[in-house]
Structure 1
Amino acid sequence: MQVHDVATPARNPTRWWILVVLCLTTLILVIDNLALSVAVPALAEDLHASAQQIQWILDSYMLVFAGLLLTSGSLSDRFGRKRIMVIGLTLFGAASVVATVAANPGELIAARVVMGIGGALIMPAALSIMLNLFDDEERHKAMSAGGAVAMLGLVGSPVIGGLLIDQFWWGAVFLINIPIVAIALVATLVMVPESRGPWLRPDPVGAILSVIGMVALVWTIIELPKGGLHHGGTVAGLIITVASLIAFLVWESRIEHPMVPLRLFRDRDFAGGSVALTLVQIGNGGLLLVLSQYLQFGLGYSPLKAGVAFLPMAISALVGNGAGAGLCPKLGCRTLAVVGMLVMAVGALMLSSLTADSGIGMISVGLVALGLGGGLATPAAVTAILGSVPPEQAGVGSALNDTIQQAGVALGVAALGSVLTTVYAHKMPDSTSATAHKSIGDALAEAARTGDNGLVRTAREAFAGGMSVSFGVSALGVLAAAILALIALRGRGPAPEPAADTADAPAEQIPVPAGNTY
């Protein structure tokens, strides 16, 4: 058996082409969610979907995705990251085809569930392959490139989605996924090397507890704004969440080969960086969704025009990613992460000043700050976090970080949505109907039926007021993340253990890096 020197691993000569493939696989996840958010108004009208059904169309994906991340990360380490990613791409592509031709809300919800399963298999596998493919010297450049591509998808998908909706129908937004999946699937099979950690005994009990705990957690977060802490569904979800996650932690701490190595949290870069990024996601989780609604409902933009409005954010994020790739080795991950988060907080504060009469100018300035700050902060923080993960645990380490952030996204969407809904309802006059109090979409629909132009103005002003408070909360969340990153992250981060060359090696022949203190 040939054992490679893990201290000085050879660099894969095609690693940058492989990075392009990995970026494609994660790009579809970004494109799907943002394009769908732009399509919500048209989708609701065409499918005659109720508000509850729309909520399930959006939330079903998140519930399944968050619930399966830990399990899929563990599976990728045990059975092969390339293999798991291929399965995920296949499921995601097939479900996208079904979603494209869905004839009712039930079919679309079912397709979204399968897409959530595929996405959960794709994300940790792709990130762990990247982690093992690049050494400490190149890892931040790779992360920055991945962040740049994700930002292009973040902004490009609403533009493309809006164009497809204007020219065709809402189902066309899922067509974006299909050619990208096809290209990524073929390229993965041809180019990406297989890698895995040393074989460990499966942990089915841990997998079941993690799925129950994470699904219950996200469900509770989603339900919280609807009925508050006293609602029966919220209380039940909270009880299940606490019981299952405590059981999961106890179980994982006692078995010989846990699915999740809890010792990762002893590393300050991993623990502090994960919590800081979670706060960023809480602060910004619902920001773009709220802003998209403001552009369409508040300013009357078409889906295409709303998508184009996000272009300044994409351009500035590309600048931030490019600058960060060069500055990270000089300044360190902590400095870039803190500076970037502070710039993001400034952007959120700018957006909190928007009113019903604001033009695109202030929106663009705020989005530029958000993009630039995110381009600097996110790759730096992720590099610091994943640099502390042993290569043989790259899959589950990546999944654990993704899971924590997904919980932050769900909490952010729920929190900002709750603040927006509460303030909107409070600002609507008592003389308006109960229907108009529910949401700006309901108010505008009622105004269209009755011809009440005054209701349109009132609803838009109320929505702008709620949005302003939501963006203020977002700014506080990102500011808290910056403070935590300053305290928790090391100045330049430890040099992680180099990854062994595990390409195409059988699991039992892959050496564990020496000197592992985890």
Structure 2
Amino acid sequence: MTTPAVSSGRIPEAVHRRRWAILGVLMLSLLIVVLDNSILNVAIKTISTPAPTGLGATQSELEWAINAYTLVFAGLLFSSGLLGDRLGRKKVLLGGLAVFGIGSALAAESGSPAQLIAFRAVMGLGAAFVMPATLAVLMNVFERDEQPKAIGIWAGGVGLAIAIGPITGGVLLDHFWWGSIFLVNVPIVLLALALMLWLVPDSRDPNPGRIDPVGVVLSIVGLVLLVYGIIKGGELADFTDPTVLATIGAGLAALVAFVVFEKRSDHPSIDIAYFRNKVFSAAIAAIALVFFALMGVTFFSVFYTQSVRGYSPLQTGLLLLPLAAAQMIFAPRARLLVDRFGNRATTTAGMLLIAAMLGAFAVLDTGTPIWVLEVVFFLMGTGMAHIMTPVSVVIMQALPREKAGSASALSNTFRQVGGALGIAVLGSVLSTAYRGGIEDKLGSLPPGLRESAGESIEATLGVAAKLGPQGKALVGPANDAFLHAMHVTALGGAAVAVAGAVVVALFLPGRPAEPQTGEGEPELVAAGE
């Protein structure tokens, strides 16, 4: 079935009539991108288990398995948005889904942590072309007055994926090998491709920007070096190590060069002029900070539920259900609070709620009733829903419709960068604090085992299992050291969320004014012209 292309002008009636079906297809495409990370969350412990059960991945390798995906995703989002603007969003969506499906199949057959990291990067390449195109198509098939509602439903789809992912991952890990969590993406990709060919119209920017290869390379190199240095510092429990300092410094230098180049370029990946608008900058910062905190917490909460509390992957997936349920319930309704109280009050309250729930992790221990964790997850999801929907609307409506791909890419770039840095920074804090808490309990082990046992709680418990009855004495100290490390890390995440609350309280707009006749595009559009 051939579908008419949508331009930046009036939406064709045929497209307008099936806009909700198109939204469903876009959410299915979004589902697999988010599903992949949420499935991986419950599989972290399994993948860290030695072969044949897992791959024997260390904590730093697990961090890279997550960040290889997010860094490639973040680094290519803007170029993929521009390619969608130039070549057509539907074509880019189809190509991205195909690459993602191929990467998923390869990741399922990985024989080592290094292979898994490489194939996760391939998946990130495909996802980078899917995510911005879904929002760009959405903005082109809905009229402006329906866009906030559609974006709210789209954001609710993220909550659905977060709900389905851990439970699906738990069921698969209970019955199949760890690679099944990636192989499950393939049939979803095939279904999405078929529906997209049938329903989704193509659209493009009549005046697309040029691709910025230098900017792409500088951003990816800078982010990879920065994240590598942070993860290495946590692995060594020494951020003063010359290699760590040199790598972090080189990453920061590359990122500074990226900003300078973008300011001088006549076709930048990121138009730095957009950030002169304080409202726009605050909305972007809110997305980055909330994902910084949440991705780091998700990383350590899996070890808390599985390694310390002894829950299975499926049980862990079920425990995460309140986090997703809250997003599904509140994300489509968040606009009602925004209409009544404004972006500033709604988003600030959401950030403070997340900060409080992150702080609550600092009081969890081995005997805390599990319903307390469920309440914490539900309230975290509630806070996230009342952040993502308002700021997504602010960002997407800040640019004209034909630049929807660029706006979506910018939003998702900072979300992925925030998440990657959250895993790197908070994961390194967790690793450093854990090593500091367990080192003096490993004195009786041989030097080689002592070094590997101190890397993470899973490494310690793995060594304890090999030692048999003699190793049982390590289990209690390992749990205590992990809980202390988790408390320190959670408080760090809470501090980041508080910083985000301050930013949005200062700069996001308050209660919306009544619309005036003849009102033009938002101020940012004029500023960016």
Q: What's the TM-score once normalised by structure 2's chain length?
A: 0.87
1:357 aligns with 2:367: yes
* Amino acid in structure 1 at the alignment position of 2:308: G
The counterpart of 1:460, out of the listed 479, 491, 506, is: 479
More off after superposition, 149-158 vs 136-145: 136-145
Do the aligned partners of 2:457 and 2:479 also contact (CA within 8 Å) in 1?
yes
Do the aligned partners of 1:92 and 1:115 also contact (CA within 8 Å) in 2?
yes
Q: In the alignment, what sits opposite 1:446?
A: 463
1:264 aligns with 2:274: yes
Q: In the alignment, what sits opposite 1:42?
A: 46
Do the aligned partners of 2:169 and 2:314 also contact (CA within 8 Å) in 1?
yes
1:206 aligns with 2:223: no
How much has 1:3 moved relative to structure 2?
Answer: 12
Do the aligned partners of 1:64 and 1:113 also contact (CA within 8 Å) in 2?
yes
Do the aligned partners of 1:222 and 1:410 also contact (CA within 8 Å) in 2?
no
More off after superposition, 406-415 vs 246-255: 246-255
1:389 aligns with 2:399: yes
Do the aligned partners of 1:221 and 1:410 also contact (CA within 8 Å) in 2?
no
1:152-172 CA-to-partner distances (Å, cap 9, x unmatched) read 211321111111111111111
Q: Distance in 1 between matches of 2:367 and 2:6?
A: 66
Q: Distance in 2 between matches of 1:474 and 1:5?
A: 41
Structure 1 residues 156 and 4, CA, compared in 2 at 3 Å: closer, same or farther?
Answer: closer
Do the aligned partners of 1:37 and 1:289 also contact (CA within 8 Å) in 2?
yes
**Which aligned pairs between 1:406-445 and structure 2 lie closer than 5 A?**
406-428=416-438, 430-433=440-443, 434=450, 435-445=452-462
1:285-319 CA-to-partner distances (Å, cap 9, x unmatched) read 21011111110000011111111111122222222
The counterpart of 1:125, out of the listed 106, 123, 133, is: 133
Structure 1 residues 454 and 357, CA, compared in 2 at 3 Å: closer, same or farther?
Answer: farther
Q: Distance in 1 between matches of 2:100 and 2:505?
A: 38
More off after superposition, 144-153 vs 431-440: 431-440
> Structure 1, unaligned stretches of length 5 or more?
500-512
Q: Distance in 1 between matches of 2:64 and 2:6?
A: 50
1:20 aligns with 2:24: yes
How much has 1:422 moved relative to structure 2?
Answer: 2.4
3-state SS of 2:454 partner: helix
Structure 1 residues 427 and 210, CA, compared in 2 at 3 Å: closer, same or farther?
Answer: closer
Q: Distance in 1 between matches of 2:11 and 2:441?
A: 73
Structure 1 residues 334 and 253, CA, compared in 2 at 3 Å: closer, same or farther?
Answer: same
How much has 1:106 moved relative to structure 2?
Answer: 4.2
The counterpart of 1:184, out of the listed 192, 209, 212, is: 192
Q: In the alignment, what sits opposite 1:31?
A: 35
The counterpart of 1:234, out of the listed 221, 244, 253, is: 244
3-state SS of 2:270 partner: coil
How much has 1:487 moved relative to structure 2?
Answer: 1.1
Do the aligned partners of 1:333 and 1:383 also contact (CA within 8 Å) in 2?
no
1:56-88 CA-to-partner distances (Å, cap 9, x unmatched) read 433322232222222212222222222111111
Q: Distance in 1 between matches of 2:44 and 2:385?
A: 28
Q: What's the TM-score once normalised by structure 1's chain length?
A: 0.89
The counterpart of 2:308, out of the listed 272, 293, 298, is: 298
How much has 1:361 moved relative to structure 2?
Answer: 1.6
Structure 1 residues 393 and 57, CA, compared in 2 at 3 Å: closer, same or farther?
Answer: same
How much has 1:196 moved relative to structure 2?
Answer: 1.8
Do the aligned partners of 1:24 and 1:184 also contact (CA within 8 Å) in 2?
yes
1:75 aligns with 2:83: yes
Q: Distance in 2 between matches of 1:370 and 1:18?
A: 30
3-state SS of 1:438 partner: coil
Q: Distance in 2 between matches of 1:423 and 1:374?
A: 27
Identical counterparts, % of pairs: 35
**Which aligned pairs between 1:368-387 and structure 2 lie closer than 5 A?**
368-387=378-397
Q: Distance in 2 between matches of 1:95 and 1:5?
A: 33
Q: Distance in 1 between matches of 2:16 and 2:156?
A: 22
Q: Distance in 1 between matches of 2:520 and 2:189?
A: 33
1:489 aligns with 2:489: no
How much has 1:17 moved relative to structure 2?
Answer: 1.5
Structure 1 residues 221 and 270, CA, compared in 2 at 3 Å: closer, same or farther?
Answer: farther
How much has 1:454 moved relative to structure 2?
Answer: 3.0
Q: Distance in 1 between matches of 2:226 and 2:142?
A: 34
Do the aligned partners of 2:140 and 2:401 also contact (CA within 8 Å) in 1?
yes
Q: Distance in 1 between matches of 2:194 and 2:11?
A: 31
More off after superposition, 457-466 vs 38-47: 38-47
Structure 1 residues 248 and 167, CA, compared in 2 at 3 Å: closer, same or farther?
Answer: same
How much has 1:273 moved relative to structure 2?
Answer: 0.8
How much has 1:5 moved relative to structure 2?
Answer: 9.0
Q: In the alignment, what sits opposite 1:156?
A: 164
Q: Distance in 2 between matches of 1:293 and 1:58?
A: 15
Do the aligned partners of 2:77 and 2:132 also contact (CA within 8 Å) in 1?
yes
Structure 1 residues 218 and 387, CA, compared in 2 at 3 Å: closer, same or farther?
Answer: farther
How much has 1:498 moved relative to structure 2?
Answer: 7.5
3-state SS of 2:441 partner: coil
3-state SS of 2:266 partner: coil
**Which aligned pairs between 1:47-126 and structure 2 lie closer than 5 A?**
47-51=54-58, 53-126=61-134
More off after superposition, 344-353 vs 220-229: 220-229
1:134 aligns with 2:142: yes
How much has 1:463 moved relative to structure 2?
Answer: 0.8
Aligned residues: 504
Q: Distance in 1 between matches of 2:313 and 2:379?
A: 23
Structure 1 residues 337 and 431, CA, compared in 2 at 3 Å: closer, same or farther?
Answer: closer
Q: Distance in 2 between matches of 1:221 and 1:403?
A: 19
**Which aligned pairs between 1:217-232 and structure 2 lie closer than 5 A?**
217-227=226-236, 228-232=238-242
Do the aligned partners of 2:231 and 2:427 also contact (CA within 8 Å) in 1?
no
More off after superposition, 74-83 vs 36-45: 36-45
> Structure 2, unaligned stretches of length 5 or more?
444-449
How much has 1:356 moved relative to structure 2?
Answer: 2.1
